[in-house]
Chains A and B, each alone.
Chain A
Amino acid sequence: MTLQGVRWTADQVLALAPDDASRKAGSKLGAAGPWSEAGSCGEGTVWGLCKGSGSKPYRTVVDIADAAGPAYKCSCPSRKFPCKHALGLLLLWAAGDGAVPPGRAPDWAEQWITGRRERTAREPAAGAAGAGPADPEAARRRAERRAERITAGATELEQRLADLLRSGLASAEQAGYGLWEETAARMVDAQAPGLAARVRELGAIPSSGPGWPVRLLEECALLHLLDQGWLRRDELPPDLAATVRSRVGLPGAADGPPVRDHWLVLAQYDTADTRLTTRRIWLHGTGTGRGALLLSYGAAGRAPELSLPVGLAFDAEIRAHPGSGQLRAALGERFAAPAPTAVRPPGVTTARAAECYGEALRDDPWLESVPVTLAEVVPVQDGEGWQLADAGSEAALPLTPAAVTRPGLWRLVALSGGAPVTVFGECGHRGFTPLTAWPRDGGELVTLC
């Protein structure tokens, strides 16, 4: 167990909230009023009694010492996790104004903590014994059957693309969304979710404003390239073949060699569609200089489980997913709780950022963007849009149209005040999406997403 030397900030606590409603409810409970007998101990336990609507107060305990992330226990009936009481308690503790004094945990809190720590100490052993597929032969047959289905799906998709090009993209505008939805459903049947997602996106392009034929042709061509990659995957170099497999939608295990480093959390943001919330977390290895992307999923409307405090660094191992040009990784063992760091990722010019994207396409031609840190750039208004202009030259990267509509843009502009700032974000063919910024004077990081 590590000593919890650092108090968290309110932002870090609020990032743990499973949804907006709990975030709001939790922040209202983050004041001393409803709490009594609250306390914390150096070993990383925070506890307190929260007065609710009933006659008995709720007992809330949080174990923050675990490097794998905090654990919560509360006697309230809420099924949200962590509940608003746990969030409120952590906020109270984070405020550090003496409402959560150091002390000895009461018995009810102590019992749970001890029980939990014993359980977690036992669990890894049990997990290791149960690993590995039960029947390798059956697993191989299942994988073969799935590959056959995907091949059939890719062949059918090739046919549909050829039909579309034969009659012309102009006809796609009239055919509307239904045609693509049906094709996407066929790809889901073929167990190729990657192809299905791309097909669904094709359907939205004809109504996406001026220049749509160019975008539609680009995406059709890249889909065709992916189909061809799958159909001839045996002829590809193994790394590229792995990239094709993951782009098509086959799950791959993160089996790269473990890389241990102090990982700085650069950005964390969620995107949601009707089925799924996807959380993307960008890491920067402060020792290795490597970038890594962690993905975590949650059911629609629920926050994904993995949450890391942006701006802090933590000592951990990650393992890369297979495939050339892939930054995706899985988080392995964590050795210490996140702590502040003075390290910032080294920045590049806008010209170098564009080159980075070009070079990355060599390994993965389907790549939408690459993570880049721009040093010394100024946000500049350009008609309806915005750019990030190099402080030292006349070059600028435009922001993506989506980034211009987000509230984060104005935080970036305010932070800059017309002076150069350092900006981390995703640089791709649509433009630059700013995610995090640092002021020039060495001040703290500001999240933009």
Chain B
Amino acid sequence: MIRTSAPVEAPAAGAWEELVTTALLGTDRRRPPGGAGREAPVALLDAAALQTVRRRAGLRPAPAAGRPEPAPADPRPPLPAAAARRLALLLADRPGTGGGGRRGTAPDLMELLPQWLAAANAHGYAPAPQALPALLDAARGRTDLRPAVLAFAGPRALWLARLNPDWRFALRAAPGGSASLPGPEDTDRIRRLWEEGLFAERVALLAAMRARSPAAARELLAGTWAAERAEDRLMFLDSLRTGLAPEDEPFLEQALADRSRNVRATAAELLSALPGSALAARMAVRAGACVAVDHTRGTPTIVVEAPHECDASMERDGVVPRPPTGRGERSWWLGQLLDASPLDTWSGRLGGRDPREIVALPVADDWQGDLHAAWCRAAVRQRDARWARALLGPPASPGAGGPGAVSLAERAKLLGTLDAGERAEWVAGFIAAHGLSEAFQLLGVCAVPWSAPLGRAVVDALNIARDAGSYPWSFSGVMGLAERCLDPAEASRLDALMAVPDETEDTSPGAGGYWAEAFQRLVTTLRLRSAMARELDPAQPG
């Protein structure tokens, strides 16, 4: 309701109040001015009609409330018009806005939003301001989208989020706005924020400092280390994972004597990722005593003698003495020693063999599983590609398909230590040999868009699965990944697969139609992705 700033005639306002009171009570109880008996209600209505129109016609603007501070300027160039329309379409396709059930031939637009955001951020565009509410709403519902959305949405989104409680998360994610993080030369502000900031602000500050200058971050942390609470110490210590280097060793070595066991364990883990550290050397000595090659047998064989006790010095180096339920003490201790030993030492210890030869050696007394699993963890922790390659083995080997010593999850982690090209090639080889049924987890660690050999292997395998007569939903996970990760340039090679094949005796009823539908969705999505990329890069010819 608009407030009348100053009634034209004061008595009129009083007259209206009088009319409302009379109307509430009823004319039987209270006589209205200028009418009585049967005519009283009509007289009241006449007067009220006059007053109502009079009041409405006399409305004036109200005094303005305090004005907001203007939003900070966004210097980034605006999105090209076509890309802005695409964003609106992607954002309109929110889960729960209908559909559901079978996926049909239409692409899953919401799934493409992360890619779109990454590309738009890479180009450095700013969104149209009116798109910000929809972007913030999307990020509110999906925490995984938040970093990319907030980076794209820019400073005006933070300005907006201060006005709407629904978008508070944006302020939490960027304490005080990412722009307000002090610069490297601003040591006073850094020191003050570190000493007086909220926990989340301090974690963000430490992470940012660590990325910029690892040594300065470590010194900042060392300055207040003794006064921090145990939970905070754990979080801060964890942020040293970024840019971990031999210079961190003295500080970590000191943290091995921490009061909190979790802090000690994390310090030990970090030290073991530094193969040159004293802790790693101590562990190598311990582990070396447990593993040896026995030349007395027909073929050289690895024999394992697990430790008989977990002494105080082992505990100090982060070995957890009590195994989880169902695990033997000695194999538990062995695993931890092997995890933390530098992989480089094994070659000298085991007869100058290279990693491939070591992994190929037979292992006596059923220790192979424990031994290889521990080496896998060590290869991942120390990011050792040579050992990872040896442990993975050739992709087509039968062991790689069955329940071998190395599980799928471990393989996915080992693949992470290889470079993108080698990773894709290995997974392509794996799929060519073993099909798609176990490939989902491995595909997840491959770089997007997939390299040509990998994409071809996936499409061929899908084609084989179709010809074998299975239903496409057995492969819906891989299909979904292919829609998001296959190089859009592959779309033209897929055209032939969109036709509905003839049904033969050994296919499942109707499967052909569903496959055609799934391939159509794949092709449609790929075309859409290439259109998205073109829209964001208008300078590039399509």
**9-residue interface stretch from A139-147, A215-223, A291-299:** A215-223
Q: How many Å from the CB of A100 to the closest CB on chain B? A: 13
- Cβ of B156 within 8 Å of any chain A Cβ, yes or no, is yes
- Cβ of B500 within 8 Å of any chain A Cβ, yes or no, is yes
Q: Are A162 and B45 in contact (CB under 8 A)?
A: yes
Cα–Cα, bound, A224→B50 (Å) = 11
Q: Which residue of A lies closest to B127 (CB)?
A: A414
Which of B41, B46, B99, B160 counts the most A-chain CB atoms under 10 A from its CB?
B41
Per DSSP, are chain B's interface residues mostly helix, strand or loop, or mixed? helix
Q: Are A415 and B64 in contact (CB under 8 A)?
A: no
Q: Are B64 and A390 in contact (CB under 8 A)?
A: yes
Chain A neighbourhood of B523, CB < 8 A: 33
Q: Are A380 and B23 in contact (CB under 8 A)?
A: no
- Cβ of B348 within 8 Å of any chain A Cβ, yes or no, is no
If A33-B107, A162-B41, A166-B28 touch, whether A222 touches B49 (CB-CB below 8 Å) is yes
Chain A neighbourhood of B109, CB < 8 A: 27-28
For B, the interface residue count at a CB cutoff of 8 angstroms equals 78
If A51-B498, A168-B24 touch, whether A389 touches B67 (CB-CB below 8 Å) is yes
Chain A neighbourhood of B163, CB < 8 A: 381, 413
Q: Which residue of B lies closest to A21 (CB)?
A: B98
- Cβ of B225 within 8 Å of any chain A Cβ, yes or no, is no
Cα–Cα, bound, A262→B191 (Å) = 64
- Cβ of A111 within 8 Å of any chain B Cβ, yes or no, is no
Could you say which of A31, A55, A166 contacts B41, with CB atoms under 8 Å apart? A166
If A161-B45, A221-B52 touch, whether A418 touches B67 (CB-CB below 8 Å) is yes
For A, the interface residue count at a CB cutoff of 8 angstroms equals 83
Q: How many Å from the CB of A189 to the closest CB on chain B? A: 23
Chain A neighbourhood of B71, CB < 8 A: 417-419
If A24-B98, A28-B106, A415-B129 touch, whether A55 touches B500 (CB-CB below 8 Å) is yes
Q: Are B65 and A51 in contact (CB under 8 A)?
A: no
Within 8 A of B (CB), among A1-54: 9-11, 20-21, 24-25, 27-34, 51, 53
The contact string, 1 if C-beta is below 8 Å from chain A, for chain B 60-93, is 1111111111110000000000100100110011
Q: Are B29 and A168 in contact (CB under 8 A)?
A: yes
- Cβ of B496 within 8 Å of any chain A Cβ, yes or no, is no
Q: Are A381 and B68 in contact (CB under 8 A)?
A: yes
**9-residue interface stretch from B274-282, B455-463, B472-480, B527-535:** B527-535
- Cβ of B1 within 8 Å of any chain A Cβ, yes or no, is yes
Could you say which of B58, B88, B104, B534 contacts A358, with CB atoms under 8 Å apart? B58
Within 8 A of B (CB), among A159-183: 161-171
- Cβ of B133 within 8 Å of any chain A Cβ, yes or no, is yes
Between-chain CB contacts (< 8 Å), 15 pairs: A10-B85, A27-B93, A27-B109, A33-B527, A34-B524, A167-B28, A170-B24, A216-B23, A218-B52, A354-B2, A357-B56, A397-B61, A411-B130, A417-B70, A446-B130
Q: Which residues of A contact B (CB under 8 A)?
A: 9-11, 20-21, 24-25, 27-34, 51, 53, 55, 95-98, 158, 161-171, 211, 213-214, 216-218, 220-222, 224-225, 350-351, 353-354, 357-359, 361-362, 365, 378, 380-383, 387, 389-390, 393-398, 407, 410-411, 413-415, 417-419, 429-431, 439, 446
What 8 pairs across the A-B complex have the smallest Cβ distances? Answer: A33-B524, A168-B26, A28-B106, A417-B71, A221-B48, A389-B64, A165-B41, A418-B70
Q: Which residues of B contact A (CB under 8 A)?
A: 1-3, 19-20, 23-29, 40-42, 44-46, 48-49, 51-53, 56-71, 82, 85, 88-89, 92-93, 97-99, 104-107, 109, 129-133, 156, 159-160, 163-164, 498, 500, 513, 517, 520-521, 523-525, 527-528, 531, 534-535, 542
